[in-house]
Amino acid sequence: MSQYDEVYRAVSPAEFFYKYREIAGFANPVRAVYQTIRELVENALDATDVHGIPPDVKVTIKKADETQEFYQITVEDNGIGIPPNIVPNAFGKVLFSSKYVMRQSRGMYGLGVKMVVLYAQMTTGRPVEVITSKPNLKRIYYFKLRIDVNRNEPVILEAGSWRKTRDWHGTIVSVTIEGDWNRAKSRVLEYINRTAIVLPYANIALLTPENEIIYYPRVVNTMPRPPVETKPHPQGLDLEFLSSLVKNTGFDTLEKLLIDSFQGIGEATARQIVQKAGLDPDRKPDSLTNEELLALVNAIKSYDKYKPPSPKSLSPLGEEIIIAGLKRAFEPEFVTAVSRRPSAYSGHPFIVEVGLAYGGKTPIGEDKPVVLRYANKIPLLYDEATDMIVEVVKDEISWDNYMVSLPAPILVLVHVCSTKVPFKGVGKESIADIPELRREVKLGIMEAARGLKQYLSKKIREEEAKKRAENIAKYIPEVARSLSIILADEDSFNALRSEVIRKLTTVVAKKTGVSLDLIQGIVKSVEAEAGV
C-alpha cells in the first residue's frame, strides 16, 4: 500500500456508537448521568402508558463504589415487560428497527438503552442487569448482559428465572456508570419534575444517593388515549425508506406493496401512481433499479389527492390531564388547556396541545410567560432560545391584549405530539419552524389566552365590585355610631347601633352584589381596630 491509501474497515453499529458517544448525549460525566436516567425512564414510560397502564416508575440512584464516582442507576416500571427471548438483543445488540409502522412513542428505535449499556461497560465495566416479566407469564426472568462491541452481539453473563409469587409485571433495569452526580443532580431533578407535570396519571419516585425521596403521586385516573400503530402516510416517504421497504418485505407486485404498506392508497390510486412513474403495476418490487425507485418516490409524493394522515397513531395528553398536571405542579389560580384538532406536515400527523397556568405558585415570566415545551410527552429542557414555540410565545402573542401585564406569574405549556416531531439539530431539544406547526401553536396559545383573558376580566370586575363594597363598608360603623348618638339615649345606644350596622350591611351587600361575609369582615375589622 502506498502512503496515499486509506485503510477501510467495516465497523459494527455498536462500535460506531462506542466511538461517537457524544452524538447520543454521553459527552461528559454530567450529561452521562442525565442521559442514562432519561433513556431508562422514557423506556419505562413507553412500556406503560403507551399500552394503557397507569405508570408506576421508580428511579434509584446509589453510590456504587467507595472511592470512585460510580453510580448504580435502577429504573423500575410496571409495564408490559419484555419477552425473555428478546431481552438479550433488546439490551445487547444495536439494531435498526425493521418495523414499517408508525406510532407515537418517546424512544426512537430503542437505541438509547444500548448506549447506556455501552457507556456503563466503557466506564465501570459492569454489566446491565434486567429483571422482567410480562402480564401473562408465570415466571420472572433475570439477565446479566454485556455487549461484544466488535461483533455487535449480546453476551449473557447470567440468566435465570423464578415463579411469580404475586401478580407482578414490568421491567427493572440496573446499570452502573461513572458520572458526576453532584453536578448532574439539579438537571436530573428538573427533568423528573418536568416529566411529572405532564404525567399526573403516573406515580413517579426518585431516590437519590443522599437518600432523598422525590415523589410525584398520581392525581388523576384518566389516561391518554394509547396510540394505534398505523401504516405510514405516502407524503412522508423518502428514497431511503422505500429502498428499505422493497428490500425487507416480500411483496409480489408494486401495486400490492403500495396498497399494503401505506395508509390512504387503494387500487385505483396505486395504479395511477405506478403509471405516472412509468412502471408496471405487476413489477416485482425487488427488481427495481435505483432510477426506477426514485421515479416511484417522486410519483408517490407528487400525487395530491391523499386523505390527510390518520391521527390515530398519536397519543395526545388531553385537556383534562394537562390541567391536572399544571394544578399539581403550580396550584395556579387559573388554569386552562387546549387540545387542537389533528393536523399534518409532509405526511406526518401532529397535534398541538397548550396548557396555561396563571397565579398561585406559577413562576414569574419576565418579558414573556415561562414556556414549558414537550415533544411526545418528553420535556425539552435546552436550546430554548432557538425554539419556534418560544418565538411564538414571545413575538407573536401580544400578552397585553389578554390583560396580562408582564412580569406576571404566567406559564405556557406546549405539547407537540407527532409520529415525527420536527426537531432542530441533532440535540433534539428544540422544535423546528414548520409553518403548519407554527400556525397550530399560535392558534392553540391564543385560544388558551382567550380563556385567561375572560378569567382576568371577570376577576377585575369582581375585584372592582369588592373594592367598591369595601369603600362603603368601612364607613358603616361610623354612620351607625353617628345616627345612634342623635337618635338613641344611653340605654338604647348599643341596640340601635347594632341594628343599624346589621341593616346597612345587608343593604350594601345587596347594592354592590358582594357577599355579606366580606362586608361583615370589613365592618368587624373597623370595630376591632377601634376597640368597640
Partner 1 sequence: MSKIDLEARSRALDIVEYSMKELIEQIERGEKPTLIMPKRTLSNTIYDLKHKMLLLGPELQKRSFTDVNEAKKFMQTLLMASIIYEALRNNEYPTIRDLYYRGKHSIVYRSIDGKRVSENTWDEQRESDSVIRDLEVLLSVLREDLLILSKEKGKVVGNLVIRSGDDTIDLSKMGHGAYSIEPTPDLIEFIDVDAEYILVVEKDAVFQQLHRYGFWRKYKAILVTSAGQPDRATRRFVRRLSDELKLPVYILADSDPYGFYIYSVFKAGSITLSYESERLATPSAKFIGVMMTDIFGDSVFKKIIREREARKTLEEVATGIEDLKPKAPYLSESERSNFIIRAKTKDLERAVELVGYKVADVCMEDKDAKSKIKRKEGLTGYPWFATPHWVRELCIFFNTLSKLEIEAMASKGLKFLADKYIPEKISSGDWID
Is residue 446 a contact point for partner 1 (CB under 8 A)? no
Least Å from the CB of residue 416 to partner 1: 39
Beta strand 203-207 with 56-63 is parallel
Q: How far is the CB of 221 from partner 1 (least distance, A)?
A: 37
Q: Of the listed pieces 17-25, 217-225, 420-428, 499-507, which binds partner 1 according to CB under 8 A? A: 499-507
Q: How many CB atoms lie within 10 A of CB 166?
A: 5
Tell how strand 410-418 and strand 370-375 pair up. parallel
Q: Which is nearer to partner 1, 204 or 514 (CB)?
A: 514
Q: Which of 482, 490, 498, 516 binds partner 1 (CB under 8 A)?
A: 482
Contact 445, 414 (CB under 8 A): yes
Stretch that binds partner 1, among 359-367, 394-402, 405-413, 479-487 (CB under 8 A): 479-487
7 vs 528, which CB is nearer to partner 1?
528
Q: Residues with Cβ < 8 Å from 296, sequence gap 6 or more? A: 242, 254, 273, 274, 277, 279, 288
> Does 507 sit near partner 1 (CB under 8 A)?
yes
- Binding string, residues 451-470; x marks residues near partner 1 by CB under 8 A: ---------------xxx-x
Selected from 145, 411, 445, 504, the binder of partner 1 by CB under 8 A is 504
Q: Which of 186, 267, 511, 516 binds partner 1 (CB under 8 A)?
A: 511
428-462 burial code (b ≥16 CB/10 A, e <16): bbbbeebeebbebbbbbbbebbebbeebbeeeeee
Question: C-alpha cell of 512?
Answer: 354592590
Please report whether residue 513 would count as binding partner 1 according to CB under 8 A. Answer: no
User: Dihedral sign, CA of 36, 39, 42, 46?
Assistant: negative
Beta carbon nearer to partner 1, 68 or 471: 471
- Residue 525 binds to partner 1 (criterion: CB under 8 A): yes
483 binds partner 1 (CB under 8 A): yes
CA distance 392 to 457: 24
503 scored as a contact of partner 1 (CB under 8 A): yes
Binding region for partner 1 (CB under 8 A) out of 24-32, 119-127, 409-417, 517-525: 517-525
Here the cell at position 396 is 407573536
Please report whether residue 506 would count as binding partner 1 according to CB under 8 A: yes
Q: CB of residue 511 vs partner 1: minimum separation in angstroms? A: 4
Grid coordinates in use for 451?
Answer: 380563556
Q: 432 vs 472, which CB is nearer to partner 1?
A: 472
Stretch touching partner 1 by CB under 8 A, among 89-97, 352-360, 368-376, 508-516: 508-516
Q: 187, 208 in Cβ contact below 8 A?
A: no
Nearer to partner 1, 446 or 518 (CB): 518
CA-nearest of 177, 181, 203, 183 to 192 is 203
- Is the distance from CB of 412 to CB of 450 less than 8 angstroms? no
Residue 157 is a binding residue for partner 1 (CB under 8 A): no
- Dihedral angle over CA of 83, 227, 323, 362, nearest 10: 70
478 residue type, one letter:
E
With CA atoms as reference, report the closest residue to 241 among 297, 289, 286, 281: 297
**Cα–Cα distance, 71 to 209 (Å, whole number):** 8
Question: Does the bond joining 407 to the residue before it have cis omega, within 30 degrees of 0?
Answer: yes
Report the nearest approach of partner 1 to the CB of residue 358 (Å). Answer: 17
- With binding defined as CB under 8 A, does residue 487 bind partner 1? yes
Kind plus residue range of the DSSP H or E element containing 464: helix 435-473
Quote the CA–CA distance of 294 and 418 in Å, as a whole number. 26
Shortest reach from residue 490's CB to partner 1, in Å: 12
Radius of gyration of the chain, Cα coordinates, nearest whole angstrom:
31
CA–CA gap between residue 362 and residue 329 (Å, rounded): 8
Is 139 a binding residue for partner 1 by CB under 8 A? The answer is no
CA 509 to chain centroid, in Å, comes to 47
User: Which CB atom, from 192 or from 504, has the smaller least distance to partner 1?
Assistant: 504
CB of 489 to partner 1, least distance (A): 11
337 touches partner 1 by CB under 8 A:
no
User: Using the rule CB under 8 A, is 472 a contact of partner 1?
Assistant: yes
In the bound state with partner 1, the residue whose beta carbon lies nearer, of 122 and 479, is: 479
Pairing assessment for the beta strands 203-207 and 139-148 based on DSSP bridges: unpaired
Using the contact rule CB under 8 A, the part of the chain among 90-98, 105-113, 184-192, 472-480 near partner 1 is 472-480
CB 334, min distance to partner 1, A: 18
Q: Could you say which residues in the range 79-98 bind partner 1, by CB under 8 A?
A: none
User: Shortest approach of partner 1 to residue 507 CB, angstroms?
Assistant: 6
Which amino acid, 230?
Answer: T
State the residue for C-alpha cell 460510580: 70
Q: How many residues bind partner 1 (CB under 8 A)?
A: 32
Interacting residues with partner 1 (CB under 8 A): 466-468, 470-472, 474-475, 477-479, 481-483, 485-487, 500, 503-504, 506-508, 511-512, 518, 521-522, 525-526, 529-530
